[in-house]
Amino acid sequence: MGYFRNVSMLNDDVRGALLSSSFARELQGYHASDELARYFDQAPTDDPLAAVQYVDLKTYLPGDILTKVDRASMANSLEVRAPFLDQDFAAWTATLPPGMKIRGGQGKYILKRALESRLPANILYRPKQGFTVPLAEWFRGPLQGTVKAALSGGRLLETGWFDRRFINKAFEQHTRGLRDNSRLIWSLLMFEAFLRNVHEGVAETPAFASEPVA
């Protein structure tokens, strides 16, 4: 599923290698994309683009993007508003034909055309810019010791869900610059922090745990 590959942190090959054989058997064929497939089946449209937008509104938007915005803003005593998510406006945009949303490879077509008289072209049509942090470099540099301690500690392995050899190999490949495994390492670090914070009641998290990753 193309949408799943686009929003997923890890591809299927990495997922398969990461999980222990015993845990993989316990999953009984379950795949994370099953949850997305359920929403695709519920989408009240036959148009592929509209279906993807429907699934996005049900999953990625509230579960990831809006959650991060809310946490970051409230941590700084800010109240963020998302005017494009006004219920009436969102319902209207859902009725627009695909050609009004994407045309000639240009996304947000109708919105940008509507704002051409108000914004300069170099702002309106500039390439999209993310706000990721240099995790790959940090994991090879100043945070290498912290990462190694977390990945080799007992919390992850005690679950019985992960393959120790694969985690060690992935970390070594990353630190030696052979592969960029920062997304995998980040996911494991956050899950390790979850085990520590929630199951063990320890409040401390790594100093870099609040950094957003797009």
Note the pLDDT tens digit of each residue in 56-72: 999 989 988 899 999 99
Task: Categorize the per-residue pLDDT at 198 as very low, low, confident or very high, splitting at 50, 70 and 90.
Answer: confident
* pLDDT score recorded for residue 203: 52
Instruction: Map tokens 């090879």 to a residue.
Output: 140
* pLDDT score recorded for residue 212: 44
* pLDDT score recorded for residue 10: 86
Residues near 59 by Cβ (< 8 Å), separated by ≥ 6?
Answer: 7, 35, 36, 39
Exposed/middle/buried for residue 92 (C-beta within 10 Å: 0-12, 13-18, 19+): exposed
Exposed/middle/buried for residue 150 (C-beta within 10 Å: 0-12, 13-18, 19+): buried
Task: Work out the mean pLDDT of the chain and round it to a whole number.
Answer: 88
Task: State how far the alpha carbon of 7 is from the alpha carbons of 19, 32, 193, in Å.
Answer: 20, 11, 22
Note the pLDDT tens digit of each residue in 105-163: 889 999 999 999 999 999 999 988 877 889 999 999 999 999 999 998 888 888 999 99
Task: Categorize the per-residue pLDDT at 213 as very low, low, confident or very high, splitting at 50, 70 and 90.
Answer: very low
* pLDDT score recorded for residue 214: 39
* pLDDT score recorded for residue 3: 79
Instruction: Map tokens 């992935």 to a residue.
Output: 170
> Among candidates 141, 140, 193, which has minimal Cα distance to 171?
140
pLDDT, average across residues 50-54: 92
Instruction: Map tokens 């994407």 to a residue.
Output: 102
Does the pLDDT of residue 31 top 80, yes or no? yes
pLDDT, average across residues 21-28: 92
